[in-house]
Structure 1
Amino acid sequence: MTPSTPPFTAASIVTTLRAAGCVFAEDEAELLLSTATGPAELAAMVERRAAGLPLEHVLGWAEFSGMRITVDPGVFVPRRRTEFLVAQAAALAPAGAVVVDLCCGSGALGVALVSVLPRAELHSADVEPAAVRCARRNVGALGTVYEGDLFAPLPAALRGRIDVLLANVPYVPTEDVGLLPAEARVHEPRVALDGGGDGLDVLRRVAAEAPGWLAPGGSLLVETSERQAERARETVGGSGLDPRVVVSAELYATVVIGTRPRCP
């Protein structure tokens, strides 16, 4: 903002954001005003948001499960619907649970889960260096974040010990990625969105290896779409886990849970 430009008001920010196509312009204006440290930063934030940068990247954080999670530019933004997956995991986890968060992105899922579990042990991993850097800041002393592809970077000592395996894998079919809103398609890493031809390629890889990593009675939890749910359930069940599908109509969320049998 140049010295001759008048300072932004709430009304002028709303007008600017509405013109840019922001549906919740009033709410976003309030967040921008409360986050900016001064007029120059506010002007820059409004400009970035009006240009199409995701609100969470502009703010530098996303609200998830009642927490503020740091989200850097180029890192996948945790969605509110995924809070349902975390709630399902919390209901399954024993005290002192060993939790692994694969495809962790910002680390939001693991952080939200262990924050409500006593004495939990958290291990998170992602293949994207930017996501790993971001997750390490969010996870902090709560656990350890590894860089690498799926299970590859995890310590071998975790085999057969994982009580809760969170895997928010990409599940958008390749041909549908181009149909996503520009906020996701342009500003989030494709590897966090593209699930292959039918959207289930990464899930297949996770499900194939999960039984060897889960403790007896441990569970794999993955998010998917409603139309993919049955195939995702079959994929998880085909790996030897006991599968089920749970749905939240309120959050428009579908989660497949696969539990390792306690007895062979």
Structure 2
Amino acid sequence: MFTFHSTQISTPDRADVVRRLRAAGCVFAEDEAGILTSAAGSPAELLAMVERRVGGLPLEHIVGWVDFCGLRVAVDPGVFVPRRRTELLVRRAAGLARPGATVLDLACGCGAIGLAVATLVGDVGLYAVDIEPAAVRCARRNLAPLGGRVYAGDLYQPLPPRLRGRVDVLVANVPYVPSEAVELLPPEARLHEPLVALDGGRDGLDVLRRVAAGAPDWLAPGGHLLLETSSAQAGVAAAALTEAGLGTVVVGDDDLPATVVIGRR
């Protein structure tokens, strides 16, 4: 049971919050307690938020945002939550882009990758696509301040024809979990994020192959495609980019840990 020293939000017993979160299996209970306490407007709201977290709802869906690449990015319920490992994809993409570049974020979710790349690079033409209506609505809110355009549909299908052959940097964090492994994911992902954002098909690379196959039609000469995958899948993923006619390299970061396959037209 929670105890509060007064009715002011600045004085709840934070230790009680931490204990509840830790008992529920939250690895970063101290950090999460701080975020929830700061986000709550009253002791009653804090109690309700903690109950939702203990019940398995992702922290980001409760508070409505995620800290990604130093940015506070809005994340609505039912939308895929960006992972910290994806910061490698952002750093590599930003290093390849230049002010004035055309950047396309496929399977954009809340739009975090495109937002972070555009923030790091500066003035870019930013476009994004997702098939999930909730993700499209969320991405539009996140990218509107940068003038980003977000389209609803399946990968390249909804893009305006004028972008064909003009994309300088194409980023895509498509699902790469094999179908049979989805049930092994943590419940907060498996139960609260859309299956289309998690399930990558039989070997996890079905969507990645589709992105790779279509990329040469949309990339500008010298343009780059960047795809996140697992280290175990990197060889097969790289082969898909090579088969599409792209010069391909694989980069990794053991600290995150993260793996990104990069193709160049």
Decide: shared fold, TM above 0.5: yes
TM range (shorter): over 0.9
Query: Within 1, Cα distance between the matches of 2:123 and 2:56?
Result: 41
> Deviation at 1:11?
0.5
Contact 1:69/1:138 (CA < 8 Å) preserved in 2?
A: yes
The equivalent position to 1:237 in structure 2, one of 223, 236, 242, is 242
**Residue of structure 2 equivalent to 1:131:** 135
> Deviation at 1:49?
0.4
**Residue of structure 2 equivalent to 1:208:** 213
Query: Within 1, Cα distance between the matches of 2:111 and 2:180?
Result: 27
**Residue of structure 1 equivalent to 2:160:** 155
Query: Within 2, Cα distance between the matches of 1:118 and 1:44?
Result: 40
The equivalent position to 1:199 in structure 2, one of 195, 200, 204, is 204
Contact 1:126/1:146 (CA < 8 Å) preserved in 2?
A: yes
The equivalent position to 1:178 in structure 2, one of 178, 183, 191, is 183
Contact 2:73/2:142 (CA < 8 Å) preserved in 1?
A: yes
**Residue of structure 2 equivalent to 1:44:** 48
> Deviation at 1:118?
2.8
TM-score in terms of structure 2 length: 0.95
Residue by residue, what CA displacement relative to the aligned partner does 1:114-171 show, whole Å, maximum 9, x if unpaired?
A: 0122320000110000000111111113211110000011110000000000111100
**Residue of structure 2 equivalent to 1:76:** 80
- The amino acid of 2:166's aligned partner reads R
Contact 1:96/1:117 (CA < 8 Å) preserved in 2?
A: no
> Deviation at 1:68?
0.3
The 4+ residue runs of structure 1 with deviation greater than 6 A are none
> Deviation at 1:6?
3.9
Unaligned runs of 5+ in 2: 5-11
Equivalent residue runs for 1:89-100 within 5 Å:
89-100=93-104
Equivalent position SS for 1:101: strand
Identity %: 63
Query: Within 2, Cα distance between the matches of 1:191 and 1:210?
Result: 20
Contact 1:132/1:147 (CA < 8 Å) preserved in 2?
A: yes
**Residue of structure 1 equivalent to 2:14:** 10
**Residue of structure 1 equivalent to 2:9:** none
Does structure 1 residue 65 correspond to structure 2 residue 76?
A: no
Query: Within 2, Cα distance between the matches of 1:74 and 1:87?
Result: 26
- Select between 135-144 and 79-88 the one with higher mean Cα deviation: 135-144
- The amino acid of 2:116's aligned partner reads A
TM-score in terms of structure 1 length: 0.95
Residue by residue, what CA displacement relative to the aligned partner does 1:90-128 show, whole Å, maximum 9, x if unpaired?
A: 111122110000000000000000012232000011000
- The amino acid of 2:259's aligned partner reads T
Residue by residue, what CA displacement relative to the aligned partner does 1:183-215 show, whole Å, maximum 9, x if unpaired?
A: 111110000000000000001111111000000
